[in-house]
Structure 1
Amino acid sequence: MELRQLEYFVAIVEEGSFTRAAERVHVAQPGVSAQIRRLERELGHDLLDRSGRTVTLTDVGAAVLPLARAALRSVESARLVVEEMAGLVRGVVRVGMVVSCGIMDLPELLSSFHSSFPDVEITLVEANSDSLIASLLDGQLDLALVGYAGPVPDGLSVRVLADEPLVAAVAASDPWYGRESVSLDELLERGLISLPPGTGLRGALDAACGSRRPRIAFEASAPPMVITLAQRGLGPAILALSMASDLHAVRITDPSPCSRLGFAWRSEGPHSPAARALIRLCSTAAPPETAASSPDANSRKTR
């Protein structure tokens, strides 16, 4: 049994395809297939069911998969220990951020990191918070700027940058214009403008509603459109307080939902020396200015 066989096996399972797995490991597909057949012959059982449109695990394959992943993690940990002892900071760090986030100047932080560690390659992806958290937990990302509601997700450590109440942001033509607060019961009677499920703000709203379901009249993927729809008098927009500078912010009470934004990373490794250096930088970065001190920036922010 060879480590590359385990690597190919895990890649096929995660990609659901021999072709995509071969592209991922940069090996021709016949070579990947040959190594998997050799591994199955050695074990005496099929690990993969190839009869469907996508490749799936057999019962034996499902039992072997966590062991294969553990073996690969152990090898990675050994490599990282050697690199750290040698004082090497190189390789790749994989970073995620919520879509269209302007509350934190992550590019500036990454530029500062690159200046200090020019041999480290940085990759950056944008997605909603739920997707980023899942990618952190399964090891596809080293660090991400995410929004979330409630406690810190299990398995993650978070440097909180902002912890803000949600508001119903309305235009001057709205019946709630001029009000200081509305109850959650009142909110549920209105058609709302909101970001989609998977975002931190929507998660905070849904958590506050519990078993009740808010009536979403308009759903937009980024805050600028949410704000624009509210400015046109189409209803209350569900936003963090700092995002509502161009609208009248009405606080939500009974309960008062909050949304947090922060840098998140896996609580336990392996973390490469490069990833640890980036985590140290982001965990000590100055928090962003709030709406009170920087009102003109709010329309660019998202979670």
Structure 2
Amino acid sequence: MELRQLAYFVAVAEERNFTRAAEKAHVAQPGVSAQIRKLERELGQELLDRSGREVRLTEAGETVLPYARAALAAVEGARLAVDELTGLVRGHVAVGTVTSHNVDLPGLLAGFHDDHPAVEITLTEANSDQLMDELRAGLLDAAIISIGGTAPAGLDIRVVDDQPIVVAVAHDHELAIHQAVSVDTLRERPLISLPRGTGLRTRLDEACAAAGFTPRIAFEASDPGALAQLAARGLGAAILPGAFAEARADELRSIAIDRPALRGRLAFAWRTDGPSSPAGRALVARARATLGGPGSGHTRRAGR
């Protein structure tokens, strides 16, 4: 009995089709059929019912399938264990990030690449909702996301930035005379905000909903710099991270939001059960050791 025979059998069982299974295994279809026939002869039972348009498992096939999967998983586990035992980390790491932040993600990835040059690193950009979905689905190993007061379900986090969310307006705007405004002050005012799905927009929508209204979004853009420019031209009140707005004090007046105070947190996040690959786990370990943040950036789990 050979591992490739078990792998081909599992592929056919999952695809219910020899051609698709062969494509998945990157071999010719006759080779898949021949190897499964050898496996059936060795076991003395047919594992697949080939009589219909769709391949189905026989009773013997149903019995063998979980053992075949377990054998393949055990071999992969042994390979990963050897890799980790010898310190050889290779493979691929998929990282995601929100559009704009002050986290030294390039520094983290460059340091990781120096230590593990054989690992392929990919970086994608999306809003926080999409990144969290891809983390949970295993499409990403880690991501920089914007979060609320608690860790998202199914994810562990290391907070790397925590700052107030403010209203930023042109210096001649009617709100510019205020040091702070309540969320209710924003009712019916034209606001300039990041799109839905971003952490900052989620905090705004939640606060407005609690106050009994839906924010009036006059302008929406994924680039905080564009939001700042629109506000500086007097087109509305931009909702921005405090440090980002204060860095543009020559063009914008930053006004605190209270009753309730809004805060935006950035976090390095990964699945609660951890990345499946040694490379992914090595990146998370490096991030936890090197990325600083408020309160020493302690790791927090969902539900805590």
TM (norm. structure 2) is 0.72
What's the counterpart of residue 92 of structure 1?
A: 92
- 1:146-157 map, 5 Å: 146-157=145-156
Q: CA deviation at 1:135?
A: 0.7
Whole-angstrom CA distance in 2 between matches of 1:210 and 1:150 = 16
Task: Give the length in aligned residue pairs.
Answer: 259
- 1:107-122 map, 5 Å: 107-122=106-121
- 1:202-241 map, 5 Å: 202-210=201-209, 212-241=213-242
Q: CA deviation at 1:284?
A: 2.4
Per-residue displacement from partner, 1:79-133 (whole Å, max 9, x unpaired)?
423422343211111111112x241121121111111111111111111111111
SS at match of 2:269: strand
Among 266, 273, 279, the residue aligned to 2:284: 279
Per-residue displacement from partner, 1:212-266 (whole Å, max 9, x unpaired)?
3111111111111111110110111011111102121111111112111011011
Whole-angstrom CA distance in 1 between matches of 2:277 and 2:284 = 10
Cα distance change on mapping 1:94 and 1:4 into 2, 3 Å = farther
Per-residue displacement from partner, 1:140-190 (whole Å, max 9, x unpaired)?
111111111231011111110111121111111210113111111111231
Cα distance change on mapping 1:170 and 1:270 into 2, 3 Å = closer
Cα distance change on mapping 1:89 and 1:190 into 2, 3 Å = same
What's the counterpart of residue 175 of structure 1?
A: 174
Whole-angstrom CA distance in 2 between matches of 1:260 and 1:8 = 46
- 1:51-66 map, 5 Å: none
RMSD: 3.8
What's the counterpart of residue 294 of structure 1?
A: none
Whole-angstrom CA distance in 1 between matches of 2:195 and 2:28 = 38
Cα distance change on mapping 1:201 and 1:6 into 2, 3 Å = farther
SS at match of 1:284: helix
Task: Report the AA paired with residue 240 of structure 1.
Answer: P
- Asked whether the equivalents of residues 93 and 280 of structure 2 are also in contact (C-alpha less than 8 Å), the reply is yes
SS at match of 1:221: coil
What's the counterpart of residue 258 of structure 1?
A: 263
Per-residue displacement from partner, 1:53-94 (whole Å, max 9, x unpaired)?
xxxxxxxxxxxxxx9xx9787775554234223432111111
Task: Report the AA paired with residue 263 of structure 2.
Answer: C
SS at match of 1:210: helix
Cα distance change on mapping 1:184 and 1:111 into 2, 3 Å = same
SS at match of 1:177: helix
Whole-angstrom CA distance in 2 between matches of 1:258 and 1:269 = 27
What's the counterpart of residue 267 of structure 1?
A: 272
Whole-angstrom CA distance in 1 between matches of 2:88 and 2:106 = 24
Task: Report the AA paired with residue 260 of structure 1.
Answer: R
Cα distance change on mapping 1:102 and 1:259 into 2, 3 Å = closer
Whole-angstrom CA distance in 1 between matches of 2:140 and 2:291 = 22
Task: Report the AA paired with residue 80 of structure 2.
Answer: L
SS at match of 1:176: helix
- Asked whether the equivalents of residues 221 and 227 of structure 2 are also in contact (C-alpha less than 8 Å), the reply is yes
Whole-angstrom CA distance in 2 between matches of 1:9 and 1:171 = 64
Give the greater-gyration-radius structure (CA): 2
- 1:28-67 map, 5 Å: none
SS at match of 2:290: coil
Whole-angstrom CA distance in 2 between matches of 1:205 and 1:171 = 20
User: Kindly, what percent of the aligned residue pairs are identical?
Assistant: 46
- Asked whether the equivalents of residues 147 and 259 of structure 1 are also in contact (C-alpha less than 8 Å), the reply is yes
- Greater Cα offset, 203-212 or 255-264: 203-212
Cα distance change on mapping 1:110 and 1:5 into 2, 3 Å = farther
Task: Report the AA paired with residue 232 of structure 1.
Answer: R
Cα distance change on mapping 1:174 and 1:30 into 2, 3 Å = farther
- Asked whether the equivalents of residues 195 and 223 of structure 1 are also in contact (C-alpha less than 8 Å), the reply is yes
Task: Report the AA paired with residue 187 of structure 1.
Answer: L
- Asked whether the equivalents of residues 11 and 25 of structure 2 are also in contact (C-alpha less than 8 Å), the reply is no
SS at match of 2:144: strand
Whole-angstrom CA distance in 1 between matches of 2:133 and 2:84 = 27
Whole-angstrom CA distance in 1 between matches of 2:201 and 2:219 = 13
Whole-angstrom CA distance in 2 between matches of 1:167 and 1:262 = 19
TM (norm. structure 1) is 0.72
Task: Report the AA paired with residue 255 of structure 2.
Answer: V
- Asked whether the equivalents of residues 150 and 204 of structure 1 are also in contact (C-alpha less than 8 Å), the reply is no
